[in-house]
Amino acid sequence: MSPMECINKMPGIATLLLTTLFSISCDAYFNLFISQDEIRKLLGINASELYYVREGVVNTYAMNFVVLLPTHISDLQFYWQALTRHPMPYVWTVEYNNVDAMLPPSFSISRQGLVPFQVEPFYIRFPCTGLRSAEVHVLLQLNVSAQRPLHSDTSINFRRNKICSKAVISEDVTPRNDSIRLDPSSLGSSAGTFYIAVSCACALILVIIVISSLAYVKSNKANTQDSLHTSYTSGAYAGNPNLFIRMDSIGSGSYATIASLHKSSASPYATSCVTADTKGRTTHHIYAKPRVSYYASSQLTQMPQLDPEERLRRLHVPRHRIAARTLLQEGTFGRIYRGTFYSEDDSRTHDVVIKTVSEEASRLQESLLLSEGTLLYGFSHQNILPVLGANTDAHLPPLLVYPYTNKGNLKRFLHKCSAHEEQYTLLTPDLVGMATQVAAAGVFLANQRLCHKDLAARNCVVDDKLRVRVADSGLARDLFPGDYHCLGDNENRPIKWLAIESLTLKQFTSASDVWSFGVLMWELVTLGQQPFAEVDPFEVAAYLRDGYRLSQPPNCPDELFDVMTWCWQADPDERPSFFQLFACLEEFNSTLGAYI
């Protein structure tokens, strides 16, 4: 039976994925692989050789993704060897676009000849012209003739996308991790958002199988993962944690609830009403039952927005009522202490967290701490961390007082769980529960018409019962300097958490907070991994405009990743509201609870 006959017998998403596989043979009778150094250069991990063909069988998993070659990588190295005693003729052919950006790929071997009987390396170079910037799509095809009745001819396609920059001619430089994107042609244009999300998830599972085994899997059956009760502290992100996916344009519809992706019955917690606006565009409205609205009601009294000076005046407490005890975290100029907050008559004390700066801090740094640290003043919500008091006595470092949470900063807590420094084994229900709490805080802030602008795990706190509260961003730039970058405008910003419009136009809305919330969920699932770790901050905006997004982490349920990708729509109007997110996550969390 031919490969296409096999494909035609497979229904649904399997057909969508397998139609992207290449014309292959099960009797190739030669080896073709890349070395450990090449894997380190392309994927940023230490592993054994990766076989594309081993002992005559083609590794379809390794062939099913497009490798992106950035400007600093121009050469690829392969090893091959014939396993037969008779000659095996081969022919290499190359197709590529953007001839102004890249010269024809060159080989260190002849384009046609015989596969060597001994293991031998060869190189393929992708030379950029330096005349223009472009992403060049390259198709390398290897045809091997068996010349024996018992052996089949083999045709294998390698897809590589080379990034060329204007005035930059390719040269060999130090390797680093590279990004991977799925072949857009493998995603049916009429499948819509559902098929794109599921296709990306399934294709990523194939990539993870390649990375984890790397020694060739002889069976073509990929093992699917049931991650409802997976321990994230035991194996999350054992491979490369920063693969990227490419999101092409998708339909104008939105998910009403997570359940609508996989079933047609109405949600027991949230139902949707589909209407059309004045321009004829379809929109979805979520109507939640009382249990949802208890946590995140849209019928909340709005607090008046006060200027920083008025907030400080109302928060002022005498300095003798604040006592710093234990240093919890320290940056270049910022410090966080555990301390004691005394009542007015000194009859009661409270454990608190105290934010302050060192004597070397500038006036600008003090001003940022006070303006950002009092942003959430006056808000009362179970998932919002309020500021309790402030002292700004002259000639002394300012002090801000917050309620104490015994597990502290959420990002540091996730890192400790990943390093087994905490006794917690975080399961999917725990992570979804924490994300739901942050979404509830987002609903509250959106109702108050307040844009957080820096929603991330580093700006949340958690206690021993995994209750999460969103905090302000005071001192975050100093305590987590690796999360902030300056793009030449003298302003440190959380580049890799920002929405496209925030990066390019400096527009901040509730929709841009939703984007950041999607990255926060990714942080939860990866136990605090760094998003877009390999991407230069100056290139992030271009990556996002080109459609690249963070990929589905290992052991992440499809439903949860669907929510993330929904948050990362390029058009802010296509993103969900926090209320929709809360309803979806609440429903998904309830579904998870049914299995416990």
Helix (H) or strand (E) holding 562: helix 558-567
C-alpha 468, offset from chain centre: 21
* pLDDT at residue number 156: 85
With beta carbons less than 8 A apart as the criterion, state whether 270 and 286 touch. yes
Collapsing DSSP to helix, strand or coil, 398 comes out as coil
Task: Give just the sign of the alpha carbon dihedral 55, 61, 66, 68.
Answer: negative
Digit-coded pLDDT (tens) for 8-30 = 444 333 333 333 333 333 444 78
Burial class (CB in 10 A: 0-12, 13-18, 19+), 170: buried
With beta carbons less than 8 A apart as the criterion, state whether 418 and 234 touch. no
* pLDDT at residue number 382: 94
Provide the b/e sequence for 397-426 (b: ≥16 CB within 10 Å).
Answer: bbbbbbbbbebbbbbbbbbbbbeeebebeb
* pLDDT at residue number 85: 77
Non-local CB neighbours of 323 within 8 Å, separated by 6+ positions: 339, 340, 341, 342
Helix (H) or strand (E) holding 365: helix 363-373
Digit-coded pLDDT (tens) for 131-158 = 888 888 898 888 888 766 656 678 888 8
* pLDDT at residue number 503: 93
* pLDDT at residue number 360: 83
- Written in H, E and C, the secondary structure of 332-364 is CCEEEEEEEEECCCCCCEEEEEEEEECCCCCHH
d(CA 56, CA 141): 17
User: CA–CA distance from 516 to each of 34, 139, 265, 503, 594 (Å)?
Assistant: 37, 36, 30, 12, 29
Which structure tokens are listed for 442?
């987002």
* pLDDT at residue number 488: 77
- Which residues are catalytic, by number? 454
Digit-coded pLDDT (tens) for 499-539 = 999 999 999 999 999 999 999 999 999 999 999 998 999 99
With beta carbons less than 8 A apart as the criterion, state whether 583 and 270 touch. yes
d(CA 324, CA 121): 64
Which structure tokens are listed for 122?
């060869």
d(CA 143, CA 412): 52
pTM of the predicted model, to two decimals? Answer: 0.57
* pLDDT at residue number 124: 92
C-alpha 374, offset from chain centre: 30
Q: Hey, what domains does the chain have and what are their CATH numbers?
A: 3-213 (2.60.40.2170), 233-593 (1.10.510.10)
* pLDDT at residue number 344: 82
Low-confidence ranges of the chain (pLDDT < 50): 1-28, 170-203, 206-207, 209-211, 213-242, 249-300
* pLDDT at residue number 38: 80
Helix (H) or strand (E) holding 366: helix 363-373
Where helices occur in 419-535 by DSSP H, the ranges are 428-447, 476-479, 500-505, 510-525
